[in-house]
Amino acid sequence: MDFDYSIIDTVLKEWGYGASSIIPVLHAVQERYHYIPRAAFPYIAKQVDVGEARVYGVATFYENFSLEAKGRFIIRICDGTACHVRKSTPILEALRTELGLSVQKRTSDDLNFTVETVSCLGACGLAPVLMVNDEVHASMTEEKVHALIGELKTEVATEVVHA
């Protein structure tokens, strides 16, 4: 399958073709695809006139960039001390079971959900806590996980019907 570079072309027109535009271009590409496709690296490098290794190096240096496909809903569950003590592990397992995911398989096949653990979300007073994209969900329980995933699946199904 051929990669469609038109999205990257649009991003480059917005951010420019210089080496200083690498980070915003990578952010914009990731925003569109939910990750940075491997095919994007040589293309971006050529367009901004730098080596492919430099573009790849920027993408792999910053933790915010991902080279793996991620779901529309990125669920980050905190496993910091406060959340761990308040039983974040059973919540993580409930998420994985509900979505058919595992330690090795973090993204659903339909690319709707990705589950990640993070060291700390900085919301210890809300423990155990998780985030769905940018929305915080406090005092999570296994029962709340089932309800949350049900709501998100309904949202996906509703959008498919209206699409």
**Residues annotated in a binding site:** 78, 83, 120, 124
Q: Which residues are annotated as a binding site for [2Fe-2S] cluster?
A: 78, 83, 120, 124
Provide the 10 A C-beta neighbour count for residue 157.
10
What value, to the nearest 5°, has the Cα angle with vertex 29 and ends 12 and 115? 170
Backbone angles phi, psi at 104, to 5 degrees: -80, -35
Provide the 10 A C-beta neighbour count for residue 38.
10
Note if the bond before 128 is cis, omega within 30 degrees. yes
H/E run at residue 77: strand 73-78
Contact between 78 and 123 (Cβ < 8 Å): yes
Name the amino acid, one letter, at 160: V
